[in-house]
Structures are given as structure tokens and as C-alpha cells.
Structure 1
């Protein structure tokens, strides 16, 4: 089990299963959403995820002409867990406050579109695009 919250603590959530494998998405959408080299995330099935508080503070933005939504706290602006598809959510790992002790980077996705300055220096498997059932861009 893992718990997490936004920067101001207004929005909190729980994942009802152990988490361990981190996916780093290097697509241009995730880079722009975070202002970084991408988004480090874990995936959680809808039934494994519960909002604990603050749903009234969640705002989202849908990218025109793309199947991508960015969810964020309207108070502090923190990126929040959001819809990955109809069955699961992406959860930014930087929000995890409990249960993230065994996290490790397992996959890098959309490495074909990573920034020129982005050097991947861990053992995570690199995928030029998405892998398995993960979808983005």
C-alpha cells in the first residue's frame, strides 16, 4: 500500500497494493507538464486507487487533439494522479509519502522523443515508444 498527497496537502490518495516499478515517460507532453525531462510515475488500476481527500480541489486540462489529460491541485499546482485510460491511473511518484521505500526505475518510455540534453543513467529498460498496455501521446 502507498499513500501520497500534493504539495499543500489539500489532495491526498491511497494505492491499495505495493508499488515498486517506476516508469519514466520522456514524451514531449510529460516534459512540458513537469518542466523536467519527463514524468516519473507508477500505474494503478482504478479499483486499487482511492482519493482520501480534496477531490473538490482537482482540476484538469485536456490536450487538444490528443488523448491526454493533466490533473493538478488548484491550490498549489502540484501534478496529481490522472486518467491513463479507462482502467488505470498514472500516479506521479514524487507525490508518494508512504510506501515508496522499494521504488526503482524499471522502464523509460518514449525515449525516441526525449530531450537532447536528457541522459538516462540507470538500468531501466528503454523503450522508444510505449510498451505493453501503457499509452501516452
Structure 2
């Protein structure tokens, strides 16, 4: 039996559960993921068999399909948090890793679309690390 993974948005209006396993975990560096995350990449889990069940706030979810691309983003209308979505006529579940409220046991399988990665996204393992906001 598959473990149930729970998740939610930042403001707490939306919550969900995922039943099943993830097939892949990709860090996507495409220009669209940079724009919609405001960061170097999106961290998304993909499954062709897991099921999404909205526990609360499904009516507070907006889904944006970038015209003439396969890029889809769902988000909470109140706080803007990235939320799961179902794509490809129900064949693919995409879950932003940061939206989960449980530890993610999967490790990323690959960085994808690295040809378009941000110019400042190099050797980040060498940048100083701080436990909290700098004082």
C-alpha cells in the first residue's frame, strides 16, 4: 500500500493528499519555470499513477496554461503558492516538491533544460550557508 503524502499552500486555505508513488523528480531550469518560481529552477515530482485528492480549497486554485507550450502552473489565489496539477488529459500528476508537508524521500533524478539555466546558477555549493536570515 502506498503512503499518503499531504501538502498545503502557505496561507493554509488549500490542502491536498497524494496517494501513490512518484516516477520522477526533476529540477527544471527552463525559462518558464524560472519566471513562475522567481528562482533558478522549479523542483517538481511527476507521476503517471499517483492520485490527487483535494482536502480543502480546491475552489481557491487557479491553473495557468502558457499558450502554445506544455507549461502549466497551478497556484493558490490567496497566497500564490504553487500547487499540484493534472496534465496530459489526466495522465500526468505534477506536484511542486515544496508544496508537500511531509519529507520528500525521493532525490532529484536530473537537472533538466540546463541550456537555459540562470547565469548566476553556478557553483552554488560554494556560497556561504546560514541557518537563519543574516543578522
TM-score range, shorter chain: 0.7 to 0.9
Runs of 5+ in structure 1 lacking a partner?
123-137
* 1:43 aligned counterpart, secondary structure: strand
User: What are the residue-to-residue correspondences of 1:1-137 with 2, within 5 Å?
Assistant: 1-19=4-22, 22-45=25-48, 48-86=51-89, 87-98=91-102, 100-119=103-122
For the pair shown, the structure with the greater C-alpha radius of gyration is 2
Structure 1's 110 and 49: CA in aligned 2 closer, same or farther, altered over 3 A? same
Distance in 2 between the 1:83 and 1:119 partners?
Answer: 32
Normalized against structure 2, the TM-score is what?
0.78
CA RMSD of aligned residues (A): 2.2
Normalized against structure 1, the TM-score is what?
0.77
Moved over 6 A (4+): none
Structure 1's 40 and 52: CA in aligned 2 closer, same or farther, altered over 3 A? same
Distance in 2 between the 1:12 and 1:46 partners?
Answer: 20
Distance in 1 between the 2:17 and 2:41 partners?
Answer: 23
User: Which residue does the alignment assign to 1:135?
Assistant: none
